[in-house]
Amino acid sequence: MAEGARMRRYSSAKRKTASAYPPVQPKALSELDAPMTDSPAQTPVPSTLAAGMRVHMIGAGGCGMRGAAAVLLRRDVAVSGSDSQPSKELDALQARGVSIRIGQDTCALPDECDLVVRSAAVKMNHPDVVEAQQRGWPVIKYAELLGLLMADRAGIAVAGTHGKSTTTGMMAYVLRRAGLDPSFVIGANVGQLGGGSGVGDGDLFVVEACEFDRSFLNLDPQFACILNVEEDHLDYYRDLDEIVEAFSRFAACVRPDGLLVINAENRDALRAAEAAGCAVETYGFGEGAHWRAKVLDEQRGCCHFQVEHNGRALFDVRLSIPGRHNVANALAVIALCVRAGVEPEMIATALAEFQGVERRLTWRGCAGGVNVVDDYAHHPTELQVTIKALREYYKPDKLYVVFQPHQHSRTRFLLNDFARSFSSADVVVVPDIYFVRDSAAERDLIDARDLVDRIRTHGGQATYEPDFEAIVDLLGKRLQRGDLVVTMGAGNVWQIADPLLARLARND
């Protein structure tokens, strides 16, 4: 599509607002998520978070919850919390004066509270949630808290089926390097930012906007991007059309005087953008995009590219992280950072310095001439682009993938897509599916051996091995100098890396 035609499409289309869509109705209220019916009248949720308020966080150890707690503390809000497991991150919160209760055997609620926040993993039948409702305290989800925190800031929300954490981390890093001192909450740790969250004195608040449970509809961003829209979370959404509808409503949440940046090469992201009531710009590799990357050269998969805006060359960028998908992520960051007032030279410098996000192409070590990498990828498209980037960067003799599927429902719905994702791998080892959020009935419908069989049907070499120690033993016997192993998945598959490196070191 020509540039002028694309501009006319967005400038002349009648904009829909959030009110044009009916309220979201949950598919079903299970006993776990149903509100208590015998509770006293609930105190209304506060519209703002003022200094001196008292907020209690159930599931405080989660990455997002910890980040939100840090933002609350900077705003002089008194924070307490609880979690089922201790962690060094919770220790750090306690060192800042946050009272944390570990375990669920006794009530962890404070004597007085203005607001209770539960993480996405905490259900409404959690003992502390039940008790808070009995006391008449307002209880909200983490996503709703993000909305409250963003209400008086210029929010930047990064949405998409995948790529959110890397892009959010990249955005926060560029803005910090530019001296804009943003606050940010990311769903992963970023070493160069000191973790997955940070609190600054600037007006910008950067967040990773999750589509599950339509969480991102709680946000009111000034700026936003949609990286891609694909099938996922089909345990919650009916189909792709319903996913696009949710992203459309997210697009309509961007403030009218703001900017929405869209992947020009993702058809369903473009569909979602039609609901935006703000300015819309596209990015991609084709000539029709407002923001275009023209790749000049690649070194071990890391791209040096020229940035063009409306056909005019602006500046060059040389990334330190591999993969053309990261060039696309960088374009989204560039478009929003230019709008935020960052100078092009600073954007180029910061992007060149950015080293990535934890569990995204993370090198864990090398032993016996074998490199071991860990990655969070758990969606078919993520798997494809990550494996391709690893091949280009490491150029291994053989590439071994240990892939732990995440959720039985996701594996079942996307089985063929998963099976095709490993075409660039030499050997795939599959442990059991990481069980989370699914019902026992869903678990009975599919297991990891079904994925192994389907990979073999597509011509791949795959093995089912449920035991992590057995996987280490299997790989330890087969790996040769020059090979590469990547552990992939959103579960605990990362735990294989260190024992494997130790085994390879003994072999050497």
pLDDT over 90 (residue 84):
no
| Distance from C-alpha of 58 to C-alpha of 80, rounded to nearest angstrom | 9
Angle between helices 497-507 and 468-478 (to 10 degrees): 40
pTM of this prediction exceeds 0.85: no
Tell me the percentage of the chain whose pLDDT exceeds 70.
91
Angstrom distance (rounded) from CA 261 to CA 370: 40
SS3 string of 116-133? EEECCCCCCCCHHHHHHH
The residues, ordered by sequence, that sit 6+ positions from 225 with a Cβ below 8 Å of its Cβ are 157, 158, 159, 160, 167, 260, 261, 262, 332, 335, 336
CB 403 within 8 A of CB 489: yes
CA-CA distances (angstroms) from residue 123 to 45, 130, 279, 373? 19, 10, 38, 34
Q: Are 227 and 270 in contact (CB under 8 A)?
A: no
Looking at the predicted structure, is the pLDDT value of residue 32 above 80?
no
Q: How far apart are the first and last CA of the chain?
A: 56
Whole-number pLDDT of residue 188: 87
Q: Could you tell me the pLDDT band of residue 61, with boundaries at 50, 70 and 90?
A: confident
Span 94-126, pLDDT tens digits = 998 899 988 866 678 999 999 999 988 888 888
Is CATH 3.40.1190.10 correct for 153-353?
Answer: yes
- What are 201-254's pLDDT values in tens digits? 999 999 999 998 899 999 999 999 999 999 998 888 999 999 999 999 999 999
Edge-first strand listing for the sheet containing 399-403: 362-367, 370-375, 484-488, 399-403, 427-430, 462-464
Give residue 488's pLDDT: 96
Q: Supply 484's token pair.
A: 């590469």
CA 307 to chain CA mean position, Å: 25
**Alpha-carbon distance 184 to 157, whole Å?**
10
Task: Give the model confidence (pLDDT) of 454-485 as tens digits.
Answer: 999 999 999 999 999 999 999 999 999 999 99
What does the mean pLDDT of the chain come to? 89
Helix (H, G, I), strand (E, B), or coil: what is residue 428?
strand
Residue range 43-60: mean pLDDT, rounded? 89
Which residue from 327, 331, 318 is spatially nearest to 283, judged by alpha carbons? 331
Which residues, other chains included, contact 397 with Cβ-Cβ below 8 Å and sequence gap of 6+?
Answer: 480, 482, 483
pLDDT of residue 20: 33
What are the E-state strand segments in 399-469?
399-403, 427-430, 462-464
Domain limits, the chain: 52-140, 153-353, 362-507
What is the structure's pLDDT at 447?
A: 94
Structure tokens, 137:
């305290």
Which superfamily, per CATH, for 52-140?
A: NAD(P)-binding Rossmann-like Domain (3.40.50.720)
Which fold is adopted by the domain 362-507? Protein-Tyrosine Phosphatase; Chain A (3.90.190)
The residue assigned the tokens 């697009």 is 251
